[in-house]
Amino acid sequence: MFTRLIIPDIQDLIDQKDWKQLKSVLSELTPQDIAEILNILKENDLIVAFRLVPKDKISDVFAELDPALQEYILRHIANKEIKQIVEELPPDDRTALFEDLPGQLTQKIINLLPAEERKEALQLLGYPEDSVGRLMTPDYIAVKKDWNIEKALQHIREYGKDAETIDMIYVVDDQWKLLDDIPIRRFILANVRQTVGDIMDFEFVSINANEDQEVAYRMIKKYNLNVLPVTDQNGILLGIVTVDDILDVLEEEVTEDFHKISGMEPIEERYYTVSAPLLYKKRIGWLMILLVTDFLSSSIIAHFENAIQAVIALAFFIPVLIDSGGNIAAQSSTLIIRALATSELSVKKWFLVVKKELIVGIMIGLTLGIILYVRGFFWRGGPTVGMVVGMSMVAITIWSNLLGSLLPIVLTKFKLDPAVISSPLLTTVVDSTGLIIYFTLAQFVFHLS
């Protein structure tokens, strides 16, 4: 809210070319606030304002910007400025930057780095996309088991300023195999004549660098950690992943799932920076597919044209039935997708899902069916139409509830993303099958051919 209030003042300073005052204002703000302001400025003003950011904050500000703006800035500033920014970025933020940039620009920037940092960047980029290796930072503090506490504390003081965090200190052997993780407070409270081995408990949690980033999130949540050590298959300590990095990944995953659930390709940019053509491109594909699948519903209605003509009141309840079926399926699929994502539910427990959702579907179906029966009885068609629409509601509800809950499990079993089936596509399938259920029951009750 604060930054939104001062943006007009920032824009006035830019328009007036009052660079001295603008630099003074920016120096008083946090990197997060400056980044929020830069994210909203016009591109021409963005470069001017970015050059006035205090040098001690510039890398932190850059790390907070949207990927599209990061790329724009890197294309419009000098190599010397690029080198300073990228060198000061933490390794995990630097890797995230390289992932989002075009290949040519990434190669150019990597070549600007010193030899040691270039080697480190290439090593992190060698891990699979979305793996923990891409997320980790090698900036941690490690000590040896046979060191005394005094020597360990000296080591922490000397190298701690360059570490991502010193909340947890890692114990390694001569081959750099992880032996333990020790909270910093245990060092502070220990007798300086004790050895590191004396305060070890040999209880620690680590993750393989090739594991998916979502696994790291689940481990951090399960064990209530702030930082998670990353090892190779031999237990060699490679780096650490901090909770703030995991939260960034989680936000991206949730955003991506929201986009998929709504029937569109994920958009990596923020809404106010994405272009209209890109929004069109991300949305039109699914909409065209759904439009074609909706033709099926029209064909089903046309197929049962004689039934509708014989009992015209049947047509009045079509929107109610198919909309209810879609809503019920969307509810159940959302519950199951979320349960699968948070590991509350596994594919092996599919029968439990069937049993529970069958009971829930019957309960919901009977409730809605009675309401629709009363509506049909008094509004249109009398008791027979009321019975048809009421029975149809029960059947459609049970079917939609089972379909919405089982499809995510089936897709997960085949290693497909269950989010893609939710809402639009699922609703279309439920609409078509719901119409078949409705008109088949109507033909049976009214003895229509």
Mean of pLDDT values over 28-44 = 86
426 contacts: CB under 8 Å, gap ≥ 6: 326, 329, 330, 333, 403, 404, 407
According to the model, what pLDDT value does residue 211 have? Answer: 92
Q: What does the alpha-carbon distance between residue 169 and residue 165 come to, in Å, rounded to a whole number?
A: 9
Of the two residues 355 and 94, the one the predictor is more confident about is 355
Structural Rg of the chain based on CA atoms? 30
At residue 398, does pLDDT exceed 60?
Answer: yes
According to the model, what pLDDT value does residue 394 have? Answer: 96
Report the range of poorest mean pLDDT among 95-109, 137-151, 154-168, 388-402. 95-109
- CATH number of domain containing 152: 3.10.580.10
Q: What is the mean pLDDT of the chain?
A: 85
Using the 3D structure, point to which of 196, 218, 241 is the last residue of a domain. 241
Of the two residues 330 and 183, the one the predictor is more confident about is 183
Of the two residues 256 and 301, the one the predictor is more confident about is 301
DSSP state letters, 123-142:
HHHTSPTTBHHHH-BS---E
Residues 422 and 294 in one domain: yes
The residue among 260, 256, 391 whose CA lies nearest residue 317 is: 391
Task: List phi, psi (to 5°) of 305.
Answer: -55, -40
pLDDT tens string 40-72: 888 778 888 888 898 889 888 888 888 888 888
Residues 98 and 203 in one domain: no
pLDDT tens string 193-204: 999 999 999 999
- Give the pair of three-digit tokens for residue 262: 């709504």
According to the model, what pLDDT value does residue 421 have? Answer: 59
Residues 95 and 211 in one domain: no
Residues 150 and 105 in one domain: no
- Residue 104: domain span: 2-126
- CATH number of domain containing 294: 1.10.357.20
Using the 3D structure, point to which of 223, 241, 259 is the last residue of a domain. 241
Assess if residue 189 is contained within a domain.
Answer: yes
Q: How many residues does the chain have?
A: 449
pLDDT tens string 181-234: 999 999 999 999 999 999 999 999 999 988 988 889 889 988 999 999 999 888
Q: What does the alpha-carbon distance between residue 9 and residue 328 come to, in Å, rounded to a whole number?
A: 49
The residue among 209, 272, 263 whose CA lies nearest residue 241 is: 209
At residue 179, does pLDDT exceed 70?
Answer: yes
**Is the CB of residue 121 less than 8 Å from the CB of residue 94?**
yes
Q: Residue 178, SS3?
A: strand
According to the model, what pLDDT value does residue 1 have? Answer: 47
178-183 and 168-172: which strand pairing? antiparallel
Assess if residue 267 is contained within a domain.
Answer: no
Whole-model pTM: value is 0.59
Q: What does the alpha-carbon distance between residue 369 and residue 374 come to, in Å, rounded to a whole number?
A: 9
The residue among 66, 68, 33, 34 whose CA lies nearest residue 53 is: 34
The pLDDT confidence band at residue 296, using thresholds 50, 70 and 90, is confident
Rounded to 10 degrees, what is the CA torsion of 240, 245, 249, 252? Answer: -160
Mean of pLDDT values over 305-326 = 86
Residues 120 and 179 in one domain: no
According to the model, what pLDDT value does residue 308 have? Answer: 79
Residues 169 and 122 in one domain: no
Long-range pairs, 56-64, Cβ under 8 A, ≥24: 57/27, 57/31, 58/84, 58/85, 58/88, 59/84, 59/85, 59/88, 59/89, 60/31, 61/31, 61/34, 61/35, 62/89, 63/31, 63/89, 63/90, 63/93, 64/31, 64/32, 64/34, 64/35, 64/36
The pLDDT confidence band at residue 396, using thresholds 50, 70 and 90, is very high
**Is the CB of residue 109 less than 8 Å from the CB of residue 95?**
no
The pLDDT confidence band at residue 379, using thresholds 50, 70 and 90, is confident
Q: What does the alpha-carbon distance between residue 296 and residue 436 come to, in Å, rounded to a whole number?
A: 11
Residues 213 and 121 in one domain: no
Using the 3D structure, point to which of 224, 241, 258 is the last residue of a domain. 241
